[in-house]
Chain A
Amino acid sequence: MSDTIVPSVAGTALDPGTVAAAPRRTPWWRPYLPVVVFAAVLTVLPFIGLSNRHIHLAVVCLIWTIAAYGLFVPYAFAGQMTVAIVTAWGVGAYATGIAIKYWDWTFVPCVLLSIGLGFLAGMIMALPILRTKGHYFVIITFVIAEAVTVAANNWDVTSGAGGGGMSVSQSISLFGIDFGERRNMYYLCLALAAIVALGVTWLRGSRFGKHLASVRENEELARSIGIRTTWLKIVVLGVGGGITGLAGTLYAYYLSHIAVNEFGVNRAITLILIVVVGGRMSVLGPFVGAAIAYYLPELIDLDPNRVLIAYGLALGVIVILLPTGVIGGIEGAFDRIRRRRRTPTTEVAS
């Protein structure tokens, strides 16, 4: 999985005899390949005899993956960490719930509504960045997430009767296929997750993505050459909100019940865990992170409280020992092995 390696001439400049050869260009589809292959592998998952419970876990896992992309985009591309991303998830879920309950909307308009509102919510919650940045901004997003939870708990539409939440009693039906059936839902979520992952890959290579990288690497420098960094940060946090809003729709449809307190800071911490475990340098990181953070504890059937302890320890260990995440760690190990095999001229050439 070398999707993090920037196209470079390192591969061709190795042999002193072929130095004159022009650097091989990476074909345009190369960055998308890992995502396509990975998604293709996942399509066979329901055929290897998994029980219903495992399909269910896989669906929830994919929804978490999509939500994690909403945090991945601002964090990995522009270095903007936000706790309030979980609020965008709640906005998406509740927009869906309300649209179904009061206006009887169907799936596609709900998705569009959630993405739109998630995008707006992300942008609005990014507005403090006009006045603060860095650490102050992270804390402010924490405060915003808490404040919205208080507000939602006090609004009887969202908190439900006696704070019991809201039921979403509609199942997805598209092109005559009933996605209430678990296996179909799995393919729908997989398709959407793959589309999001491909979109994210495209975004990274685009002009916008390169500007974001400049914000991440050196904001002052980026600003000095005329990049509107503040605006970029607001937009990228909006994009993250939109992606997470999509996860909100799927979540509301699939679990058919949502409650305000689910979308609290704990969920944000789990999302951060997913992104950090998967590795912020790898586009497939959220898939792997969600599988590790969500699927693994369910597989070994831990007591929920112990799961939290394990999450916390995992987060600590990974942050300290494996700062690039699991995928980053594997890639790093591969690189070291590869480098050991090469002749010392490699070092000079690269």
Chain B
Amino acid sequence: MQEFLQQLVNGVVSGSLYSLIAIGVTLVYGLTNLINFAHGQVVTIGAFTAWSATTSGVPFALAVVIAAIVGGLVSVAMERGGFRFTRANPINGFILSLGLIFVLEGVMVERYADTLHRIPDPTSGVFRAGDVQISYQRLIVVGVALALTGVLMSSLKYTRMGRATRAYAEDPDTAALMGVNTERVIMAVFVVGGALAGVAGSLLLSLFGVTVTLGAAFVVKAFVVSLIGGLGSVEGALIAGIAVGLAETLGSAYISSSWTDFFGYVLVIMVLLVRPSGIFKGSEGAHV
């Protein structure tokens, strides 16, 4: 029982990171129908920005903020420099994102060698609840991820920009006619998605350490999560992320650890057989 609870906690930790990465993917798809596989590279860039910052003496909390800013900038630069031109044909955007994977990963390999980069734990100490132990760092990771997701969801709901975003997702033409600055909405979504990916990257760094090639694996996870949650749905991404995290940790603990990634993939294929457009898509009105 104790081990089970421990695994449950681990699942929620990695799941909250999956959600954070998936939100960028799902938001961008919801607005532009773009499958952006280069989003994983934003995670890598965020992680290595945080690594460079902390190893040169910046406190970890500030490093996370820097990673968020850099992630947002990189993401919007991809939009301005590339995806802007493929908006009419999203499959070309998908191909372009595959190209960007090569470019960004290659540049990262040039800059940082392909080895595991770690930082010393930013916080120490362990939280105990009965027999279950959780390091404070893990609690912080989950807390930050959930808080950011919560802020994003409520600002999509209540702020002017959020309403504009939802309007654009619902019907781009009508939104434009109503005076929504559509270019700005798209750029904002890329910035927010990239910033969240940067944060996710720096949190990953603090927990497990990172390599320059981790982006590909995480972006596939992000798409698994987004598909389960329904592409375009933020709350779907949150819940599906934690579901995938749980499936993986429980699967690797009780079935086999060398099949870890497999459980998420199986989950998405099974979910799509039952609900082809994800669990949360199409059940209610607007989704972003």
Tell me the A residues contacting B by CB distance below 8 Å. Answer: 81, 128, 131-132, 135-136, 138-140, 142-144, 146-147, 150-151, 153-154, 265, 269, 272-273, 276, 305-306, 308-309, 311-316, 319-320, 323
> Which residues of chain B are within 8 angstroms of A313 by Cβ–Cβ distance?
99, 103
State A346–B9 Cα separation when bound (angstroms). 72
Asked if residues A316 and B82 are in contact (CB atoms below 8 Å), the reply is yes
Asked if residues A136 and B272 are in contact (CB atoms below 8 Å), the reply is yes
Asked if residues B106 and A306 are in contact (CB atoms below 8 Å), the reply is yes
Q: Distance in Å from the Cβ of A326 to the closest Cβ of chain B?
A: 15
Asked if residues B276 and A132 are in contact (CB atoms below 8 Å), the reply is yes
State A142–B272 Cα separation when bound (angstroms). 14
Asked if residues A312 and B269 are in contact (CB atoms below 8 Å), the reply is no
**Besides A143-B220, A269-B98, A312-B100, 12 other A-B contacts (C-beta < 8 A):** A131-B273, A135-B94, A138-B91, A140-B272, A142-B220, A143-B227, A150-B259, A154-B258, A269-B99, A269-B101, A316-B103, A319-B99
State A111–B68 Cα separation when bound (angstroms). 52
The dominant DSSP class at the B interface is helix
Can you list the 4 inter-chain pairs with the closest CB atoms, starting with the nearest?
A315-B99, A312-B102, A312-B103, A309-B106
Q: Distance in Å from the Cβ of B117 to the closest Cβ of chain A?
A: 18
Asked if residues A139 and B91 are in contact (CB atoms below 8 Å), the reply is no
> Which residues of chain B are within 8 angstroms of A128 by Cβ–Cβ distance?
269, 272
Give me 6 A-to-B residue pairs in the complex whose CB atoms sit less than 8 angstroms apart, sorted by A's number.
Answer: A131-B272, A131-B273, A136-B272, A140-B269, A142-B223, A319-B92
The dominant DSSP class at the A interface is helix
State A44–B141 Cα separation when bound (angstroms). 63
> Which residues of chain B are within 8 angstroms of A138 by Cβ–Cβ distance?
35, 91, 94
> Which residues of chain A are within 8 angstroms of B216 by Cβ–Cβ distance?
265
Q: Which of B59-67, B126-134, B194-202, B260-268 lies at the interface?
A: B260-268
Q: Which of B102-140 contact A (CB under 8 A)?
A: 102-107, 109-110
Asked if residues B102 and A309 are in contact (CB atoms below 8 Å), the reply is yes
Residue among B86, B99, B107, B276 with most chain A CB within 10 A: B99
> Which residues of chain A are within 8 angstroms of B100 by Cβ–Cβ distance?
312, 316
Q: Which of B165-216 contact A (CB under 8 A)?
A: 216
> Which residues of chain B are within 8 angstroms of A314 by Cβ–Cβ distance?
99
B242 within 8 A of A: no
Q: Distance in Å from the Cβ of B119 to the closest Cβ of chain A?
A: 25
B47 within 8 A of A: no
Asked if residues A151 and B29 are in contact (CB atoms below 8 Å), the reply is no
Known: A154-B259, A305-B110. A143 touches B96 (CB 8 A): no
State A272–B109 Cα separation when bound (angstroms). 23
B243 within 8 A of A: no
Chain B, Cβ-Cβ closest to A148: B265
Q: Distance in Å from the Cβ of A37 to the closest Cβ of chain B?
A: 30
Asked if residues B94 and A143 are in contact (CB atoms below 8 Å), the reply is no
Residue among B94, B102, B265, B269 with most chain A CB within 10 A: B102
- Contact of A139 (CB < 8 Å), options: B89, B95, B223: B223
State A269–B98 Cα separation when bound (angstroms). 7
Known: A142-B220, A311-B99, A312-B99. A135 touches B35 (CB 8 A): yes
- Contact of B91 (CB < 8 Å), options: A81, A140, A142, A316: A81
State A135–B34 Cα separation when bound (angstroms). 9
Known: A81-B91, A139-B35, A308-B102. A316 touches B96 (CB 8 A): yes
State A135–B269 Cα separation when bound (angstroms). 15
B224 within 8 A of A: yes
Asked if residues B106 and A308 are in contact (CB atoms below 8 Å), the reply is yes
State A71–B208 Cα separation when bound (angstroms). 37
> Which residues of chain B are within 8 angstroms of A136 by Cβ–Cβ distance?
227, 231, 272, 276-277
> Which residues of chain A are within 8 angstroms of B101 by Cβ–Cβ distance?
269, 312
Q: Mark B239-259, 1 if CB is under 8 A from A, else 0.
A: 000000000000000001011
Asked if residues A309 and B35 are in contact (CB atoms below 8 Å), the reply is no
Q: Distance in Å from the Cβ of B34 to the closest Cβ of chain A?
A: 9
> Which residues of chain B are within 8 angstroms of A147 by Cβ–Cβ distance?
261-262, 265-266, 269
Q: Distance in Å from the Cβ of B27 to the closest Cβ of chain A?
A: 15
State A185–B273 Cα separation when bound (angstroms). 45
> Which residues of chain B are within 8 angstroms of A144 by Cβ–Cβ distance?
265, 269
Known: A143-B265, A309-B106, A312-B101. A319 touches B96 (CB 8 A): yes
